[in-house]
């Protein structure tokens, strides 16, 4: 993995993968002001599988958006591999996502009327992977999630569990450093949810992909090695050894 | 970056085949409508202009009496006579040819076939004035003209009705009680711009008409043509002055004859077709607008879906400018494709229509360019600007867009 597209960004190999330094996030202004995060400190090392829990409005989604470089903190620092993300431009953050991050959404967010393989190839297109290699990598990713033979199916021809697996294949096809999953099993029944969790656990164990997953189901959280609870915009409990920085 | 974006845009166009088609359809209709309307308008104008030229825009005609409405010559006016023609030929300058005519609706008979037509008694000058060619046979001989022999030159319609495929030259037909030998056939002139069939006519020598058909020496109408480049206005004034003198009309009296200038008629006709062209252009503009609204609708309806798509792309790591470029390329490719198809469709169907309407095929490149630019501009505008708005959104908001 190169940094050719993120000139001027120097990552530190020995730093935690992600680090929140007293991060606050405020939405709105004046009377409508809403503090989503009130000074969160959190650090996650490479290879961890972290479950983020908390009731709605606890700040866990905001936390995920900042982790995913989709949003910037109002105050405090967010370091990704030691890189202060707050100082990056919109485009630089896009490149960070392109090269290091993978996303799984609750609503799958696949492109409609597009075959599974083309959906999986999408992140590779933006990485300018050559066509032949793109195809091989996408096929491989679909195989990993158990969708061999479904390459040409469009989302409407796939079940919810299968769609989420296509979305997972799309997220891991680039072998990201960090996989962010926002309630990946939120729309699925228990059996499908288990299958998805097995997949994620496998990626964490076998491919060494760091995973941060938001969930409100303790069953699902139990697959993770570390569980962080959010309450009222603060980390309420954290059973991990990395702990608060 | 550009190649990659072009690839993504093309994938998108194929993926949304239906939406792409509907967008293209709007542009096709808009562009084609403008081309068809302007071609037909231009063709009609050209046709009318050509018809007037065929009729002779350097032609004047004189008839006794004042024209009050179409065909309403007043009865009490003194008829024209041969001496008037001689005087005009002698005194009025720049005249190419002067032809006296008298006409009557009659039935022409060949074998057991009857045909009602208009019989015109005239001289060979009539052919010069009307710029009419003999297709087969010949014009009248001097002796035929002088002696008033019953010889006739028939128009194409009369030939077709009476003779079909047979050669009529040398055959005898009957006009009333007179037998008449066909000596020539006129080349077809087709319909006049007034909608009358100019080929539905039979010419006979004026002498014959006067002696054997009308029974008097009156001349109903004189046709004249002025020399190329000479003013019909001057000729008209000269003729009026001459006839007033010859017919002894006092300075305070009005004319008891009328001089028509075909140029005036042609100007009027040209004015009419101009109105027609304006009307067609207005219809075309409406079509273009409707096509544009169609494009707009399709583009706006797909904004929701596309906003989420943009959210996905941004989250995956697309930069704003990559997303924008993709949408711009998509819009340009689609609009251009639609524009080109619209031109092809418009040009080919207007070509067919001009053949059906029998009007000349006049293509106006300016209108094509205008229609093309307008349609593609709408396509690009409404394909691109909603996308730009979406691309500037926070990826999270774009993903949540309902």
Domain boundaries, chain B: 2-52+268-400, 78-255
Choose the weakest-confidence range: A193-197, A221-225, B158-162, B248-252.
B248-252
Q: Which two tokens stand for residue B257?
A: 């004859």
pLDDT (tens digit per residue) in B174-218: 998 889 999 999 998 877 656 678 889 999 999 999 998 888 888
pLDDT for position A7: 45
The CATH number covering residue A196 comes to 3.40.50.300
Q: Which domain holds residue A81?
A: 18-238
User: Residue A62: closest CA among chain B residues belongs to which residue?
Assistant: B396
Tell me if A103 is assigned to some domain.
Answer: yes
Distance, CA of B369 to CA of B129 (rounded, Å): 42
pLDDT value of position A12: 61
CA distance to partner chain B, nearest, from residue A223 (Å): 26
Q: Which of B13, B315, B322 to mutate to test the interface with A (most CBs of A within 10 A)?
A: B315
* Average pLDDT of chain A to the nearest whole number: 88
Please give the residue of chain A at the shortest CA–CA distance from B17: A113
Q: What is the pLDDT of residue A5?
A: 43
Percentage of chain B beyond pLDDT 70 is: 95
Cα Rg, chain B, nearest whole Å: 33
Give A24-61 pLDDT, tens digit per residue: 999 888 888 888 999 999 999 999 999 999 988 888 88
Contact A97 B315 (CB under 8 A): yes
Domain assignment of residue A7, yes or no: no
Total domains in chain A come to: 1
Q: Which long-range contacts (CB under 8 A, 24 or more apart) does A219-225 make?
A: A219/A190, A219/A193, A220/A51, A220/A185, A220/A193, A221/A51, A221/A53, A223/A49, A223/A51, A223/A197, A224/A49, A224/A50, A224/A51, A225/A48, A225/A49, A225/A50
B317 and A68 within 8 Å at the Cβ level: the answer is: no
Does residue A40 sit within a domain? Answer: yes
CB B342 within 8 A of CB B26: no
Shortest Cα distance, chain A CAs vs residue B20, angstroms: 13
Please give the Cα distance from A34 to A27 (Å, whole number). 5
Q: Report how far residue A77's alpha carbon sits from residue A80's, in angstroms, rounded to the nearest whole number.
A: 10
Judged against a pLDDT cut of 90, whether residue A227 lies above it is answered with: yes
* Rounded (10°) CA dihedral B300, B306, B310, B315: 140
| Cβ(B150)–Cβ(B208) below 8 Å | yes
Q: How many residues belong to chain B?
A: 402
Give residue B397's pLDDT band: very low, low, confident or very high (50, 70, 90).
confident
Q: Is the pLDDT of residue A171 over 90?
A: yes
pLDDT at A11: 60
Q: Is residue A245 part of a domain?
A: no
User: Which comes out higher in pLDDT, residue A5 or B104?
Assistant: B104
From residue A231, how far is each of A97, A244, B133 by CA, in Å?
27, 15, 103
Residue by residue, DSSP assigns B63-132 as EES---STT---TTSPPB-HHHHHHHHHHSTTEEEEEEEEEEEEEEEETTEEEEEEEEEE-THHHHHTT-
Q: How far is B305 from chain A (nearest CA, A)?
A: 9
A130 interfacial to chain B (CB closer than 8 Å): no
| A112 interface with B at CB cutoff 8 Å | yes
Work out the average pLDDT over B220-226. Answer: 90
CA distance A211 to A103: 10
pLDDT of residue B16: 81
What is the reported pLDDT for B164?
Answer: 86
When pLDDT is cut at 50, 70 and 90, the band that residue A3 belongs to is: very low
Q: What's the pLDDT score for residue A168?
A: 94
Is the per-residue pLDDT at A8 higher than 60? no
- H/E stretch holding A227 reads strand A226-231
Contacts of B231 (CB under 8 A, 6+ apart): B94
Query: Looking at beta carbons, which residues of chain A come within 8 Å of B330?
Result: none
Contact B317 A94 (CB under 8 A): yes
Per-residue pLDDT, B206? 92
Chain A hits for B7, Cβ within 8 Å: 125
Query: CB neighbours of A10 closer than 8 A, spacing ≥ 6?
Result: A82, A83
Query: At a CB cut-off of 8 Å and minimum separation 6, what does B295 contact?
Result: B23, B26, B27, B30, B335, B375, B378, B379, B382
Give dist(CA A55, CA B352) in Å, integer.
Answer: 71
Residue A10 has pLDDT above 70, yes or no: no
Could you read off the pLDDT of B19-69 as tens digits, one per residue? Answer: 888 878 888 888 888 888 888 888 888 887 777 766 666 888 898 887 555
Residue A4 lies in a domain: no
Cα–Cα distance, A230 to B135 (Å, whole number): 103
Interchain proximity B320–A94, CB inside 8 Å = yes
Q: Does B8 touch chain A (CB under 8 A)?
A: yes
Residues of chain B with Cβ-Cβ distance to A96 below 8 Å are 317
- Dist CA B141 CA A64 (whole Å): 107
Chain-wide mean pLDDT for chain B? 84
A-chain residues within 8 Å CB-CB of B21?
none
ipTM over 0.85: yes
Residue located via tokens 């008097």: B216
Pick from B272, B253, B256, B292: which is nearest to B381 by CA?
A: B292
pLDDT at B151: 92
Q: Which residues contact B100 (CB under 8 A, 6 or more apart)?
A: B80, B82, B85, B122, B123, B206, B219, B221, B222
CA distance A64 to chain B (A): 11
Q: What residues have CB less than 8 Å from B208, skipping those under 6 apart?
A: B121, B144, B148, B149, B150, B151, B178
- Is pLDDT at A243 greater than 60 in this prediction? no
| Position A244 pLDDT exceeds 50 | no
* Dist CA B12 CA B312 (whole Å): 14
The pLDDT value recorded for residue A1 is: 39
Q: In this predicted model, what pLDDT tens digit does every residue of A111-144 receive, in sequence order?
A: 888 899 999 999 999 998 999 999 999 999 999 9
A76 lies in a domain? yes
> Chain A within 8 Å of B314 (Cβ-Cβ)?
yes
- Any idea which of A216-220, B61-65, B226-230 has the lowest mean pLDDT? B226-230
DSSP assignment of A34-89 equals: EEEEEEEEEEE-TT-EEEEE--TTSSHHHHHHHHTTSS--SEEEEEETTEEGGGS-
More confident residue, A64 or B52: A64
Q: What is the pLDDT of residue B67?
A: 58
Q: Does A122 touch chain B (CB under 8 A)?
A: yes
| A15 close to B (CB below 8 A) | no
Rounded CA-CA distance B292/B378 in Å is 6
Confidence category of residue A6, pLDDT binned at 50, 70, 90: very low
Burial class (CB in 10 A: 0-12, 13-18, 19+), B86: exposed
């Amino acid at each position: 993995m190169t940094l050719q597209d993120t000139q001027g960004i120097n990552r530190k190999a020995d730093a935690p993968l992600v680090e929140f330094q007293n991060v606050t996030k405020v939405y709105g202004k004046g009377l409508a002001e809403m503090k989503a995060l009130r000074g969160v400190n959190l650090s996650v090392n490479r290879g961890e599988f972290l479950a983020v829990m908390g009731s709605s409005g606890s700040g866990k989604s905001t936390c995920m958006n900042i982790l995913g470089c989709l949003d910037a903190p109002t105050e405090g620092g967010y370091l990704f591999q030691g890189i202060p993300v707050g100082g990056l431009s919109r485009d630089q953050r896009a490149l960070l996502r392109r090269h290091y991050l993978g996303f799984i959404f609750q609503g799958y967010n696949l492109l409609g009327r597009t075959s599974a393989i083309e959906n999986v190839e999408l992140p590779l297109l933006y990485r300018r992977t050559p066509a032949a290699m793109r195809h091989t990598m996408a096929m491989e990713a679909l195989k990993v999630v158990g969708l061999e033979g479904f390459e040409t199916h469009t989302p409407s021809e796939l079940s919810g569990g299968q769609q989420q697996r296509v979305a997972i294949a799309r997220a891991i096809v680039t072998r990201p450093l960090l996989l962010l999953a926002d309630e990946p099993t939120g729309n699925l029944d228990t059996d499908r949810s288990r299958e998805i969790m097995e997949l994620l656990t496998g990626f964490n164990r076998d491919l060494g992909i760091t995973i941060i997953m938001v969930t409100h189901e303790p069953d699902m959280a139990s697959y993770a090695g570390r569980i962080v609870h959010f309450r009222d915009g603060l980390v309420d409990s954290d059973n991990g050894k990395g702990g608060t920085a | 970056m550009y190649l990659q974006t072009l690839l993504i845009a093309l994938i998108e166009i194929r993926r949304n085949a239906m939406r792409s088609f509907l967008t293209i359809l709007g542009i096709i209709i808009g562009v084609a409508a403008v081309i068809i309307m302007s071609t037909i308008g231009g063709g009609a104008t050209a046709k009318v202009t050509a018809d007037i030229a065929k009729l002779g825009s350097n032609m004047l005609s004189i008839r006794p009496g004042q024209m009050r409405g179409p065909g309403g010559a007043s009865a009490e006016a003194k008829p024209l006579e041969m001496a008037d023609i001689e005087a005009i030929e002698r005194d009025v300058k720049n005249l190419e040819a002067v032809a006296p005519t008298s006409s009557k609706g009659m039935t022409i008979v060949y074998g057991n076939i009857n045909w009602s037509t208009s019989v015109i008694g005239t001289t060979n000058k009539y052919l010069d004035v009307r710029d009419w060619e003999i297709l087969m046979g010949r014009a009248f001989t001097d002796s035929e003209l002088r002696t008033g022999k019953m010889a006739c030159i028939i128009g194409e319609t009369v030939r077709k009705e009476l003779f079909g495929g047979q050669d009529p030259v040398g055959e005898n037909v009957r006009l009333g009680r007179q037998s008449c030998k066909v000596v020539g056939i006129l080349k077809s002139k087709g319909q006049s711009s007034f909608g009358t069939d100019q080929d539905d006519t039979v010419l006979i020598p004026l002498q014959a008409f006067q002696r054997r058909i009308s029974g008097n020496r009156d001349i109903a109408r004189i046709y004249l043509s002025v020399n190329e480049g000479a003013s019909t206005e001057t000729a008209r004034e000269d003729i009026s002055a001459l006839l007033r003198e010859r017919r002894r009309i006092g300075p305070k009296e009005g004319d008891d004859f009328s001089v028509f200038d075909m140029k005036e008629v042609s100007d009027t006709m040209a004015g009419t077709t101009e109105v027609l062209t304006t009307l067609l252009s207005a219809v075309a503009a409406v079509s273009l607008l409707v096509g544009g609204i169609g494009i707009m609708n399709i583009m706006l309806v797909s904004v929701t879906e596309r906003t989420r798509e943009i959210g996905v792309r941004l989250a995956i790591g697309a930069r704003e400018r990559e997303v924008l470029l993709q949408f711009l390329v998509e819009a340009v490719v689609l609009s251009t494709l639609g524009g080109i198809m619209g031109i092809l469709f418009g040009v080919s169907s207007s070509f067919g229509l001009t053949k059906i309407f029998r009007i000349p095929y006049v293509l106006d490149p300016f209108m094509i360019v205008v229609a093309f630019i307008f349609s593609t501009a709408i396509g690009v505008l409404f394909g691109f600007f909603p996308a730009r708005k979406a691309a500037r959104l926070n990826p999270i908001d774009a993903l949540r867009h309902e």
